[in-house]
């Protein structure tokens, strides 16, 4: 009897053990399968890394014009709001990247920051090894690693200004501007794009021209000159520099003597001015129009939306070769800030020759006809024709000129005197012969 209760207890213990093992075995596959099934969503409070306490943004002010190299900048509004119940640190930086080419010169950008509703602030520039730009917005007089401490439920705002300089390559037509916070305590708005106006070489702010005054007569060597009207207009919203030069080139031969031209400039509606001459090694001429009492490299500073005018006078001298019949006159601006009109042409009058002395055509007083010598006329020695048969030594053929004596207007008188002497000699001979005849009788 004592053994049966022990057997019954052993059987009950074995059955309980088997039940536990079976239940555990049944649970293992279910647990493994549960890893591949969708997990029900459970609401969990977000951590700071999931929901950031600060909301930051950078936006362009409405109506912002494209950036102009060395001109006005773009004003951007930087904002940060602390949505939490405690102070949060904020360390904003702004990266600016050109859309095409990174500048070789790091001085291609200016960056400033001004507090609107924030502690006193400043903007600081930083350039990478490839001149990539980062601007820091910092508490005033702070090192670059110092952040702002934004109170709970508070908003700070700043104006951030970006300007580009002439060192920005001409093929860069826009900038990508992005806001960052390296403390990772804020969300940021997407990057924005700032357009950049074409370079001055593409769209020039000045319009310049050189024109001939109506009715201008051809230039005369050592005479009156030609007055030309020089005009420049600034079409932009800022002061522009203008450095005008005028080249003058003869159409045939460059003079050997550099003193072949005079050049002057007089202000009409412009600051006091002067004209200065410059000659190249081959006497090629350049005239400078300059502010009064200035060196040749000094430009005019033309105010926005203003026109300047001058009278430029060009005179030529006798040193200009006689085969030069015109001058090519062209306006230039070596600052490349203006468009110019096409070159113009000034006519030059032919040199005036001084006429040589010509023999007088006064008729001779000689009894016989004497005609002046002309080209193609046969000339024979003069012969005297006497009415006395004994005195006749020859005749002058019809339509043949007597030889010129070279005596000018007195030739006829000499011929007449010679004829008279011949007559007297012939009379004397005739008288002597007659006396001799009478004596013989």
Q: Could you report the per-residue pLDDT of 195-208, keeping only the tens digit for each?
A: 998 765 557 899 99
CA dihedral for 20, 26, 28, 34, sign (positive or negative): negative
User: Confidence band (pLDDT; 50, 70, 90) for 433?
Assistant: low
pLDDT of residue 21: 39
pLDDT of residue 420: 59
pLDDT of residue 336: 85
d(CA 221, CA 327): 12
Is residue 358 predicted with pLDDT exceeding 80? no
pLDDT of residue 50: 60
pLDDT of residue 203: 73
CA atoms within 13 A on the CB side of 158: 29
Read off the pLDDT of each residue in 363-384 and give the average, rounded to a whole number: 39
User: Confidence band (pLDDT; 50, 70, 90) for 238?
Assistant: very high
Cβ proximity of 38 and 123 under 8 Å: no
| Percent of the chain scoring above 90 in pLDDT | 51
| Percent of the chain scoring above 70 in pLDDT | 68
User: Which residue did the predictor score with more confidence, 295 or 61?
Assistant: 295
* Cα angle: 360, vertex 365, 368; to 5 degrees: 110
Q: Tokens at residue 384, please?
A: 């005297």
pLDDT per position as a tens digit, 45-54: 444 446 899 9
pLDDT of residue 282: 74
User: Confidence band (pLDDT; 50, 70, 90) for 372?
Assistant: very low
Question: What is the set of domains in the chain, with CATH numbers?
Answer: 54-195 (2.60.40.1510), 206-347 (2.60.40.1510), 379-440 (no CATH)
Strand partners, 331: 246
pLDDT of residue 419: 60
pLDDT of residue 377: 35
Place of tokens 């081959």: 282
CA dihedral for 369, 372, 377, 378, sign (positive or negative): positive
Is residue 397 predicted with pLDDT exceeding 50? no
pLDDT of residue 435: 57
> Quick one: which of 61, 67, 72, 64 has its CA closest to 304?
72
Burial class (CB in 10 A: 0-12, 13-18, 19+), 426: middle
d(CA 209, CA 176): 39
User: Which residue did the predictor score with more confidence, 95 or 62?
Assistant: 95
Is residue 190 predicted with pLDDT exceeding 50? yes
Instruction: Tell me how crowded residue 279 is: count the other CB atoms within 10 A of its CB.
Output: 14
pLDDT of residue 259: 87
Place of tokens 């002497």: 421
* Region of residue 241 (phi > 0: left; psi between -120 and 50: alpha; otherwise: beta): beta
pLDDT of residue 430: 58
pLDDT of residue 354: 53
User: Confidence band (pLDDT; 50, 70, 90) for 416?
Assistant: low
Read off the pLDDT of each residue in 417-422 and give the average, rounded to a whole number: 58
User: Which residue did the predictor score with more confidence, 13 or 237?
Assistant: 237
Is residue 182 predicted with pLDDT exceeding 80? yes
pLDDT of residue 429: 56
pLDDT of residue 115: 97
Say if strands 261-269 and 307-316 run parallel, antiparallel, or are unpaired.
antiparallel
Burial class (CB in 10 A: 0-12, 13-18, 19+), 213: exposed
3-state secondary structure of 12: helix
pLDDT of residue 378: 36
The pTM of the whole model exceeds 0.75: no
Q: What are the start-end ranges of the H helices in 311-368?
A: none
Q: Tokens at residue 4, please?
A: 């049966």
User: Confidence band (pLDDT; 50, 70, 90) for 417?
Assistant: low
d(CA 53, CA 74): 29
pLDDT of residue 334: 87
Is residue 328 predicted with pLDDT exceeding 60? yes
User: Confidence band (pLDDT; 50, 70, 90) for 366?
Assistant: very low
Q: Which of 37-41, 158-162, 260-264 has the lowest mean pLDDT?
A: 37-41
User: Which residue did the predictor score with more confidence, 366 or 69?
Assistant: 69
pLDDT of residue 204: 87
């Amino acid at each position: 009897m004592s053994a049966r209760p022990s057997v019954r207890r052993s059987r009950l213990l074995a059955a309980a053990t088997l039940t536990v093992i079976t239940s555990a075995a049944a649970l293992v596959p279910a647990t493994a399968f549960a890893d591949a099934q969708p997990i029900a969503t459970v609401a969990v409070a977000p951590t700071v890394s999931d929901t950031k306490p600060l909301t930051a943004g950078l936006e362009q002010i409405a109506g912002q014009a494209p950036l102009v190299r060395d001109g006005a900048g773009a004003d951007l509004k930087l904002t940060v709001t602390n949505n939490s119940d405690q102070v949060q640190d904020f360390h904003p930086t702004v990266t600016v990247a050109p859309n095409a080419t990174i500048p070789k010169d790091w001085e291609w950008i200016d960056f400033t920051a001004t507090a609107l509703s924030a502690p006193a602030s400043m903007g600081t520039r930083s350039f990478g090894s490839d001149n990539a730009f980062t601007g820091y917005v910092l508490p005033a007089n702070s090192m670059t690693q110092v952040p702002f401490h934004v109170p709970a439920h508070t908003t700070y705002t700043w104006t951030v200004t970006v300007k580009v300089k002439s060192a920005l390559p001409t093929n860069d037509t826009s900038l990508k501007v992005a806001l960052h916070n390296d403390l990772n305590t804020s969300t940021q708005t997407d990057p924005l794009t700032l357009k950049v106006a074409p370079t001055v070489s593409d769209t020039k702010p000045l319009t310049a021209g050189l024109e001939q005054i109506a009715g201008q007569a051809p230039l005369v060597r050592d005479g009156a000159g030609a007055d030309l009207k020089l005009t420049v207009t600034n079409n932009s919203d800022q002061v522009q520099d203008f450095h005008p030069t005028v080249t003058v080139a003869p159409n045939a031969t460059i003079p050997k003597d550099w003193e072949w031209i005079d050049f002057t400039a007089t202000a009409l509606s412009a600051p006091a001015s002067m004209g200065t001459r410059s000659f190249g090694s081959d006497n090629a001429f350049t005239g400078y129009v300059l502010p009064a009492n200035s060196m040749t490299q000094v430009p005019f500073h033309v105010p926005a939306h203003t026109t300047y005018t001058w009278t430029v006078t060009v005179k030529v001298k006798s040193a200009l070769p006689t085969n030069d019949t015109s001058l090519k006159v062209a306006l230039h601006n070596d600052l490349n800030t203006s468009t110019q009109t096409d070159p113009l042409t000034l006519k030059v009058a032919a040199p005036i020759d001084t006429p040589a002395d010509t023999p007088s055509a006064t008729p001779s007083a000689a009894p016989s006809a004497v005609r002046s010598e002309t080209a193609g006329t046969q000339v024979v020695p003069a012969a005297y024709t006497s009415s006395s048969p004994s005195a006749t030594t020859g005749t002058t053929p019809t339509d043949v000129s007597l030889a010129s004596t070279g005596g000018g207007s007195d030739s006829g008188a000499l011929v007449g005197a010679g004829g008279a002497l011949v007559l007297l000699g012939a009379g004397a001979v005739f008288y002597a012969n007659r006396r001799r005849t009478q004596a013989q009788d």
